[in-house]
Amino acid sequence: MALSTYIDAITTGLAEEMRRDERVFIIGEDVGVMGGVFKATKGLYEEFGADRVIDSPLAEGIIISSAIGAALAGMRPVPEIQFADFVTPAMDAITQQAAKLRYRSGGTQTCPITVRICYGGGVGGGLYHSQTNTTWFIHEPGLVVVAPSTPYDAKGLLKSAIRDDNPVIYFEHKKLYRSIKEELPEEDYTVPLGKAAVRREGHDLTAISYGYTLQLTLQAAEKMKEKGVDVEVIDLRTLSPLDKDTILESVAKTNRAVIVHEDHRTLGVGAEIS
């Protein structure tokens, strides 16, 4: 077991998948020589070279469109959108092309891309470096959307996403990058897509969250325990498709639910769950 930060878990997951499968490559802004703006791809350019860790122009639409073309040619691209705030130039490629390829081809084609997107506030990033737009993508059929809250899941969900034949939007919260650590197994492992996790068992109330707010929810649950309230905490992990069975099983036990999420005031993930 090795102690790892959230961002190191992502880096390690990328490296392991690139060693395992030569079809896996990375493309994005500053991911190569610079090692990424947050250093999530640090060292990968040196190990795998410029053909597999590609520094792209500042053009999100081109990043995603080229990844889709590569996926259709048999590759396993992992494009990076540097900040969620800048994903809009790639929306047509993601929602109208990647998400719909399986359907428009009658199931004869797939689009195995894993789009890494850095999202969320709490780091003083300001207007264009703090947004959370996960909901845009969970509304779109054909996309799998994940948002890990721990280093273990950051690595395991990333590896599952890269191996999956569907387009996966992988949201990684920048506040988590170096704020939490966890011991990770040395051996290969994955975390299943579409499966929530019960992070804390309780019987008085079900608290449902994901990403950075999951960590805040766990802290609040411990405070509530001091007041005699036993909170069960569910980590969604995958936002689409939702693991409804785990949610309903918990609420059937506690008869109460609260949703804690970082999102728009209306029509966020919490609105869908409620």
Choose, from 129, 203, 261, 264, the residue flagged as catalytic: 129
236: closest CA among 199, 183, 182? 199
> Which secondary structure element, helix H or strand E, spans residue 78, and what is its range?
strand 76-81
Supply 39's token pair.
Answer: 């250093």
264 is catalytic: no
**Could you tell me if 186 and 2 are in contact, meaning their C-beta atoms sit under 8 angstroms apart?**
yes
Q: Which residues pair with 27 in a beta bridge?
A: 54, 79
193: closest CA among 92, 112, 89, 104? 112
Checking DSSP bridges between strand 231-235 and strand 205-209, what pairing results, if any?
parallel
Q: Which residues pair with 81 in a beta bridge?
A: 117
144: closest CA among 56, 264, 241? 241
**Could you tell me if 145 and 137 are in contact, meaning their C-beta atoms sit under 8 angstroms apart?**
yes
Give dist(CA 28, CA 73) in Å, integer. Answer: 19
Give dist(CA 38, CA 125) in Å, integer. Answer: 13
Give dist(CA 185, CA 170) in Å, integer. Answer: 21
Report, in this order, helix, strand and coil percent for the chain, each rounded to 5: 40, 20, 40
**Residues recognised as catalytic:** 129
